[in-house]
Structure 1
Amino acid sequence: MNLGEQYLQRINDGRKVWLRNQVIDHVAKHPVFAETTRTIADLLNKQTTPETCEELSYTNQDNTSRTNMAFLVPRSIEDLFRRHNAFKYYANATFGVTDGLSQYARSVLTGHYASRNFIGIGNHYSRKLEAYYKLVSENDLLCTIASHDPQENRSHLPSKLDGSDSRLRVVNETKEGIIVRGARMAAANAPYVDEILISFYDPRSREDQHHGSMFAVAAHTPGVHIVCRDSFVTKEIENHPLSGRYEDMDSVIIFDDVLVPWERVFIASDPEAIKKVQQDPVAAALAQHQSVVRLLSNLEFIAAVGHALTSASEVKTLLHVQEKMGELIIQLEAIKGLLLSAEHRSSPIYENIWLPDERTLHTARNLGARFYPRSIEILQQVGSDTLLQNPATLEEFNGPIGHLLRNYYRGADREALERTKLIKLAWDLVGSPLATRRKIQEQFFWGDPVQALAVQYENYPKESLTEAVWKLVETKSR
């Protein structure tokens, strides 16, 4: 049985996935999730295909099997390039629309594993994290990260919310493990994964001791409820080529007095240890590297659709259209240049863990939060009302007025049916619910974009800039 088939069988495990007040009995067969899980299965199979095996996987330390490239701890700049190439392959295969293979979450886990002995938490953390990393990587498991509190009252820390039961916390400890209750959000693709890693990006104080734990659970663990937003999927794939194929489902994970075995508890009720994990640069750098590669794939796809769209109506020769298309090219080339710069300026940390340049990655990330919404706006502008003047379905070309549609919907360089398919693709990219979700994700995936810029300013070595200024100001006239 190939990796894809193993995966499809594996996720039929009794997990509690909730959609529209119903539990989904078999995720892989449900119409909302079937296309996405099939895509994931196909991508998993590429890992063992002779033509792509070397690009997407590496031989593990025991030389017993091959492991997905996201689990590779980079020990050289060449290893960063290998990770880049694998991420780019997967991103291009889905046009950057989905991260169904959990390459981001896998990179976070790989970073935690790589730095486990260097951040001063203790042997118990190191030992458990190493065992968990081996479990996930050697069995090619998919995972997601639930890292944010429910947005009940963001002005207060958990300990200051009187009577609130929403934020995840430890309610009891037993010989078997900890009992946790509460919710975590921003768990992308949770219905499709094997494992859910609970980490924290939100601040924790000493008073929040019971709210400061880091652990992992299997998706089918009793008491774990995966609550999905409404789906954007449509059964008409031909009319919705992106929405019909890819559902990056967002979920809230509810823990209803869940027992987490001690071997899966990396940090128990220890805000100071959580702070050390938050400040560790390895997981953040490896995850940001993956997300910037996917951003590049996104921008390349948008530019490609824009060029096809303007060619189909022969407006690509108009100066104002060329200006906007040129802006799309500048965006993708800027991100490409920053990505290559981050890799070529990489350096080792701890015991030869090779990381891309942090400052350059942050620049790409912060620009991406602005580039992506702007690129969608440009597509809307160059497409204009053409995006709205389309038959409802492609089947109409075979209907009573099909001959009229084939005559009046043709493009400058395409027949009517092909042009209509292109416009439907463009609309799916800029005007559908999926498009809105993608725009929000790219703007806020790394948090508040305003704060992100402020942090970059605060951390920048500004003295190197102002030294010349003060030297000039203080120079006496001759």
Structure 2
Amino acid sequence: MQTGADYLASLDDGRVVVLDGERVERVAQHPALAGTAATIASLYDALHGSDAAALLAEGPGGAPTHAFWAIPRSRGDLRAQREAIRAWQRTTHGWLGRTPETMAATITSMAAHAPFYGRFEANVRAMHARDAAAVTHYAQALVNPPVDRDLPPDEVADVFLHVVRETDEGLVLRGAKAVVTGAATAQRLLVSHFGGEVQTDDFAIAASVPVGAQGLRLYARGIPSAPDAPLASRFAEHDWLVVFDDVLVPWEDVLIRDAATMLAHNRGAVGWNARLALQSATRLEAKLEHLAALAARAVEILGTQELRGVQAALGELVAVRHAVAGMRDAMIEQAGPVGDEGAWGPGVEPAMAFSAAAPDAYGRVRALLQTTLASGLAHLPVPAAALAEHPEVAPLLRGSGGADASERLDVLGTLHDALVSGFGARHELYERSHWGQPERTHVGILGLARAHGRLDDWRG
């Protein structure tokens, strides 16, 4: 398993990163990216720390790995994976959507169903062995740019990612993927396709691609943040446009090359969707816990904690946290064997219920807290670091509950970053869009209910 220093060094691989129109020479030192890179590095260091046992499991070949990178063989394994995910997510308070265990959801699901990938079975197994051993940090490149959505993907070859030719060395890819969260601070991309279903094999491509691959370019606009923004400075992720300009992908990194396999992969044949829901729910649980704890102290500082409406709002926030945790735990309790190699997968029905409920739930939480905290989120006239220069302001910022100006700026400033700033607005968009088009999610839930005979059973 790599260390934090190994991870940071890996980002100096010649990658082409363009932020706000300017080339980033060193990702780990750029002001808009360094905080996130350092946070991810700290997660790797935790794998080697005194409390590492709670994070680890035996991976392929017997080597230790983060528990979520191991293929689960029982409900107990899934519970252990939940705790390992929790340990990392409570460190980042759920504010990083792409921590290094996230894409293990897909890669372990693929490895557990490796024969499904036909001639690329060995590649799938080798990818899992390599990346579990290192705990490779992946970003996922799935979404086509929002261009010509009235056309089938196969007819947008000037924009969408596709194979332009095969060589003895591998496939040459051209086109783009959009909203690739965290790509600049990742080590590899899990390239695939999701959205309008492709009909031709040249557009049905899944592969593992290094971010520093020749011909790969990343573009994004920065997330506005003040120098003292407590969340954005540590956890800001950007949603990158990734352009493939005749990128050669070696054959050993190719995972899917035909439309039929791609369609079945996306429709749940290997269960990666449910594994991702397990991880995502645990991440969202940590974020909601952080918001609830901050909000509870904030209303004490504002002196509104005894107001019935305020108590009801905090209770609703806690209820959302409980609902998210409950759906995640239901995924574990309804888990069962999947595939032919002894793997277990989370329950699909609660996983899909979470994917339908979470986007609107988070938006509701943000609006609830904006309403409840109201002017408290705006009464932040100076940064905390400026209090010493402006002592005359401190008495005007004191709070109830024994809070001084420094604590008020700390607690309410963090909530401003979470709820009001560009960082906070982007997070609502992230949660709302995390599972793609809501209509697609709901249609899938109905299809699953019909396939399982639920509607007939309920009719009696």
Tell me the distance in 1 between the aligned counterparts of 2:146 and 2:102: 23
Q: 1:427 Cα shift?
A: 0.5
Counterpart residue number, 1:19: 19
Tell me the distance in 1 between the aligned counterparts of 2:350 and 2:92: 26
Counterpart residue number, 1:160: 155
Q: Within 5 Å, which residues of 2 pair with 1:399-414?
A: 399=389, 401-402=390-391, 404-413=392-401, 414=403
Q: 1:93 Cα shift?
A: 0.5
Q: Is the 8 A contact 2:216 2:244 kept in 1?
A: yes
Q: 1:72 Cα shift?
A: 1.0
Is 1:54–2:66 an aligned residue pair?
no
Counterpart residue number, 2:375: 385
After the TM superposition, which segments of 4 or more aligned residues of structure 1 sit over 4 Å from their partners?
none
Distance 1:204 1:407, change over 3 A: closer
Is 1:450–2:448 an aligned residue pair?
no
Aligned AA (1:107) = A
Is 1:266–2:259 an aligned residue pair?
no
Distance 1:216 1:445, change over 3 A: same
Q: 1:2 Cα shift?
A: 6.9
Q: Is the 8 A contact 2:294 2:415 kept in 1?
A: yes
Aligned AA (2:335) = S
Aligned AA (1:221) = A
Tell me the distance in 2 between the aligned counterparts of 1:354 and 1:218: 29
Counterpart residue number, 1:425: 414
Q: 1:100 Cα shift?
A: 4.5
Q: 1:127 Cα shift?
A: 0.7
Counterpart residue number, 2:107: 109
Q: Within 5 Å, which residues of 2 pair with 1:186-225?
A: 186-206=179-199, 208-225=200-217
Is 1:184–2:177 an aligned residue pair?
yes
Structure 1 residue runs without a partner (length 5+): 468-478
The 10-residue stretch of structure 1 (357-366 or 216-225) with the greater mean CA deviation from structure 2: 357-366
Q: 1:278 aligns with which of 260, 266, 269?
A: 266
The 10-residue stretch of structure 1 (219-228 or 446-455) with the greater mean CA deviation from structure 2: 446-455
Tell me the distance in 1 between the aligned counterparts of 2:134 and 2:379: 49
Aligned AA (1:304) = A
Q: Secondary structure of 1:103's partner?
A: coil
User: Which structure is larger by alpha-carbon Rg, 1 or 2?
Assistant: 1
Tell me the distance in 2 between the aligned counterparts of 1:213 and 1:451: 22
Aligned AA (1:60) = G
Q: Cα deviation per residue 1:172-211 (whole Å; 9 max; x = unaligned)?
A: 11111111110012211111111111111123343x3311
Q: Cα deviation per residue 1:188-247 (whole Å; 9 max; x = unaligned)?
A: 1111111111111123343x331111112111110011112323354x23xx11011111
Q: Cα deviation per residue 1:242-284 (whole Å; 9 max; x = unaligned)?
A: 011111121111000111111112222x111211221224211
Q: 1:61 Cα shift?
A: 4.2
Q: Is the 8 A contact 1:233 1:247 kept in 2?
A: no
Q: 1:434 aligns with which of 410, 418, 423?
A: 423
Q: 1:455 Cα shift?
A: 2.9
Tell me the distance in 2 between the aligned counterparts of 1:434 and 1:98: 11
Counterpart residue number, 1:147: 142
Counterpart residue number, 2:297: 308
Distance 1:361 1:309, change over 3 A: same
Q: Is the 8 A contact 2:142 2:193 kept in 1?
A: yes
Is 1:81–2:79 an aligned residue pair?
yes
Q: Is the 8 A contact 2:153 2:196 kept in 1?
A: no
Counterpart residue number, 1:474: none
Q: Is the 8 A contact 2:225 2:421 kept in 1?
A: no
Aligned AA (2:426) = R
Q: Is the 8 A contact 2:60 2:129 kept in 1?
A: no
Aligned AA (2:221) = R
- Backbone CA RMSD of aligned residues: 1.7
Counterpart residue number, 1:340: 329
Percent identical: 24
Q: Is the 8 A contact 1:233 1:246 kept in 2?
A: no
Distance 1:180 1:89, change over 3 A: same
Q: 1:287 aligns with which of 276, 284, 304?
A: 276
Is 1:227–2:219 an aligned residue pair?
yes
Aligned AA (2:208) = A
Q: Secondary structure of 1:348's partner?
A: strand
Aligned AA (2:58) = T
Distance 1:366 1:205, change over 3 A: closer
Structure 2 residue runs without a partner (length 5+): none
Tell me the distance in 1 between the aligned counterparts of 2:191 and 2:98: 18
Counterpart residue number, 1:465: 458
Q: Is the 8 A contact 1:114 1:282 kept in 2?
A: no
Q: Cα deviation per residue 1:444-464 (whole Å; 9 max; x = unaligned)?
A: 110122332343234321122
Paired residues, number: 453
Tell me the distance in 1 between the aligned counterparts of 2:274 and 2:165: 34
Q: Is the 8 A contact 1:204 1:211 kept in 2?
A: no
Distance 1:115 1:229, change over 3 A: farther
Q: 1:158 Cα shift?
A: 2.5
Tell me the distance in 2 between the aligned counterparts of 1:232 and 1:290: 28
Q: 1:77 Cα shift?
A: 0.7
Is 1:171–2:164 an aligned residue pair?
yes
Aligned AA (2:369) = L
Q: Secondary structure of 2:61's partner?
A: coil
Is 1:252–2:241 an aligned residue pair?
yes
Distance 1:166 1:74, change over 3 A: same
Aligned AA (1:106) = A
